[in-house]
Amino acid sequence: MRLFNMAADLRVLSFASKLAPCTVAMEACCGAHYLHRFWPNEGTMSPEYVRPCVKAQKNDDRDAEAIRISRRTSDDAVVEFKSEAQLDV
């Protein structure tokens, strides 16, 4: 299982390294905090701000659209990244 996760991490980081400078918006989760160690970005969105933007039943596409909308409309929704020590607590 861990090998699969490592492969997925490498694919995401490889993809991200090829992007031109841009704004990356992610919903706050342990995975987002982990990726931030290798791929710094502006911050993640608090789920409380993303949820009202989901227009119908929850799925990945609608979540992505809601994150995009909430990132454009609210600067207050950004969550500070946690260090490895903070995540271990």
Beta bridge partners of 44: 79
Beta bridge partners of 78: 45
State how far the Cα of 19 lies from the Cα of 22, in Å rounded to an integer: 8
Question: What does the block give as tokens for 41?
Answer: 């970005």
Average pLDDT for the chain: 73
Nearest one of 28, 32, 38, 37 to 70, comparing CA atoms: 28
Nearest one of 19, 28, 20 to 48, comparing CA atoms: 28
Q: Model confidence over 16-55: pLDDT tens digits? A: 778 777 777 777 777 777 777 777 666 677 777 777 777 7
What local confidence, expressed as pLDDT, does residue 43 receive?
A: 64
Q: Tell me if the pTM is above 0.85.
A: no
What local confidence, expressed as pLDDT, does residue 45 receive?
A: 73
Mean pLDDT of 64-72: 80
State how far the Cα of 68 lies from the Cα of 70, in Å rounded to an integer: 6
State how far the Cα of 1 lies from the Cα of 22, in Å rounded to an integer: 32
